[in-house]
Amino acid sequence: MRHTLRQHLPTCALIAIFVVPAVAHAGSQQEQDTAQQESPPVFESEAQPLGEPIELDAYAEYRKGGIFISDGQRVQIWHGTEMEADDEEEVLNPSDIELGYRFRVEGVRTANGVIVADRVTAQPNDREFLSGSVESMANELENEWAQVGYVYQQEGDHRAIIGEIVDYDDRVVRAERVLNNIRPPYLDPGAVRLYVIDAELWNVMALPNGSIWLNTGLIEETSEDELAIVLGHELAHFTHEHARKDTGPSWWKQALVSLGSGLLLGMLPGGTARDVGQVAAVAGGRMWTAGYGSELEAQADRVGARYAFEAGYDVHAGIDIWTRFRYFYGDRTYDNDSMLEAHVKPEDRIENIKHEIEINYRFEIAELDAVLDQR
């Protein structure tokens, strides 16, 4: 591992190394204070254009002193940040923002990758109307597979068996350990459940109710760092509610459209068991092969890498795993038998991860290395 000791660093060290220094100006102290109030610090950058504006709309997932992590990015709230609240609860300062809050940012990216916030809006992440129905569908599907003991895809009258659910062995222990390590601190451990499927094909998926289904082929043929990247990606699909937000070829939307609102009543009191079974069967087939739109896949890559990094895993493994995917499946976006359908091309994912390392992790890793050198 290139980066393995982060979780062992003392809290004080983490706070110290992520604080962006103020810019010094010539003149009196009053002039310096005035200059700081007028504009946030902006630095020359090799990685980004000077003062590049950026907007985020995600969640506050980690806090390190004056730095929040949202959408995989580091965000600094300073004394010039305009803090806004929702209609019900006023947010006056950073200490009022709880992890897991929806976190919208307008700011400027500085040379070390930190986004200095001009404006932040934070509010509790209230579930939206549709998500309850979507979660009910996912619960039915999870229960169905768990009861029969295997994952299947219904194709008309034919049931194609994808693989049996592994009860418990070293592969399950390894995967659960990695998933527990990368879980963000605000997420309750019981919110995520891992199922290991006995299948050689490289595949993994997350249902919108927090159940993650991982093939043994990925566990057996990936390193700890690679596995953390893969599971982080799927975990981000769940934590960032991509099944609800997807406007592309999400199977959830297709299932609702094709089955109609009548069958959805099977999820509610008064619905029949037959209705529920039909929804689960159709949903299961679409979930196993369908992907999300490119923007949500890119966000899952970005946030998943952050989950892995915060747990001490090497983000460079993202390059390694997608290089191997490209070797096995080619540089295409569609493969009916792999996790690549409707996903971003491996080559584009590799470039995106390299970009994230350049603007974010290169600086963080260098700072961590400096701390370790001083110990």
- Taking only the tens place, the pLDDT of each residue in 79-89 is 889 998 866 56
Question: What is the residue extent of each domain of the chain?
Answer: 6-126, 129-372
- pTM of the model as a whole: 0.76
Of the pLDDT bands very low, low, confident and very high (cuts 50, 70, 90), residue 288 is very low
Higher-scoring residue by pLDDT: 146, 329 = 146
CA separation for the pair 5, 369 (Å, rounded): 10
Query: Mean pLDDT: which of 85-89, 121-125, 284-288, 323-327 is highest?
Result: 121-125
* Per-residue pLDDT at 343: 55
Percentage of the chain beyond pLDDT 70 is 66
* Per-residue pLDDT at 4: 44
Report the candidate in 360, 294, 343, 318 with the shortest Cα–Cα distance to residue 70: 360
* Per-residue pLDDT at 293: 74
Tell me the DSSP string of 130-167. HHHHHHHHHHHHHHHHHHHTEEEEEETTEEEEEEEEP-
Contact 196, 172 (CB under 8 A): yes
* Per-residue pLDDT at 329: 67
* Per-residue pLDDT at 294: 77
In CATH, what number does 6-126 get? 2.40.50.320
CA separation for the pair 347, 355 (Å, rounded): 12
Strand partners, 336: none
- Weakest mean pLDDT among 2-11, 80-89, 242-251: 2-11
SS3 49: coil
CA distances (Å), 363 to each of 76, 289, 310, 338, 356, in order?
Answer: 15, 37, 14, 34, 11
Report the b/e string of 248-272 with b at 16+ CB within 10 A: eebbbbebbeebeeebbbbbeeebe
